[in-house]
Structure 1
Amino acid sequence: MCLRRLLPVLGLAIWAGGAAAQDVGPPRDVAGAAGPWELALDGSFRRCGLMLAAEPGPVGQALRFPAGCRRALPVVNGLGGWRQEGDLIQLLDREGQPVLAFAAPEGESTRSAESLSGERYSLAQAGTRSAAPEAPLVTPAALSIQPSAREASRDFWTGAPATAAAVAGLYTLDRFVEKDVCRVRLVAESAQVQEGCRDPGLALFDPTAWHYEAGRLTLVARRGHSVELIPVGEGRWRRDPEIGTTFLLRRVEP
């Protein structure tokens, strides 16, 4: 091809490359939401700083958080990125599926979302959330006050199993007054939902693993998020904190 014919082609290529370079960057909606945010578990002191980055990540846009968040808010263990669709901010699992979807708040309230397992979380831009209330001081006088019988059976049960092996077994999920709606077998750190489960929430949560440490039982979902439970009686566990729908595991005979 002669040089005279080649010049227009080269000019078109240079113009296209320049236009493409001008288009590089995050979408307009993403650029507006990108920045530091704070994720909190409602009804608790558990909070975590998130960085919603503008650059692409493994799924959606990149998501960053301190290592300490993995213990403070186990739900972040399964997160792989984030995206914004209109006014909706979604935190995504590693397959790009939404784990938490935060709609635009009304007025000056924070964004709120409920997980598949029933916990409610709030999301606020860093610096806009009011400070968490200080934890009450534990004084000798407070320690001398005996809990009521109801409190002792709910929150102060001291017979927690000593080992994970003592926790393993077959459990049924109780919801409100309805009993035995779904059964889960805990064995060798594997959680298996039994056939005939009539609870859509637990079926959607789909626990596949569990672990036990320091008196706390943690169920881990297939997507990586988790639910923590504390013992409230012999063979009985409830979600902690006790928010959302009732989540009570009761040990049953096979």
Structure 2
Amino acid sequence: MSARIDLVLVLLLAGLVAPAGAQDVTTLKKDMIGQWELATTDRSKTCVVTMKGDTTPQGLRLELEPACATALPFTKDIVGWSIKGLGDIVRLQDAAGEAVIDFTEVETGIFEGLRTNEGVYILQNLAAARSLAKSMDQMIGDWSMVRGNGQAICGLTLTNTDAGNDNFQVFLKPKCDPAVAAFNPTSWRLEHGQIILMSTKGETWQFEADDNAQWRRVPDSADPLILLREQ
């Protein structure tokens, strides 16, 4: 074992192999090249950032669409990007190389950054962000909650009004089934292909799309609950 360690040390000193962290930096740098959406958590303000792999005196090259400065004023200071930490931080930086905002990956392809006194911002692959936005837009509107036999037990409206923490407001209509009224969801979100309804008590109901273009509550039961979009 000691001979193997000595060999690795020799190779490291000779520059013939890279330490594990260096490989992480290389991988993340490669993955970040392309177009990204920089946005507030509710996507009310967005900005397209194009990250490139070539080096400039201010870091790796990037381009911001012209509307960025108006939508997100702090982006005026961004002139480049780099990978920091142990290869796990994506930094959007100013001309001095200082962080304008640092991002860390919270889900595959989704990065989160915090600016003091401003809040959290999301950096996400542009195509994925626009696909999610389109899916969200399709969810907004009036829905009926029905049992497996087709009996309607509640009406509800999914909105795009920000409810905080990447959630949006939902409103129940009058005369809902007592079980739904007791649950009383006040917010919702679309996550990993599921509609998630949430109450102020922290309870959640998850619904997944089935083969009949309906959304069934999961886990399934003998008396399922189904969400149907009202026409």
TM-score, structure 1 as length reference: 0.39
Which structure features the higher share of strand residues?
Answer: 2
TM-score, structure 2 as length reference: 0.43
Larger radius of gyration: 1
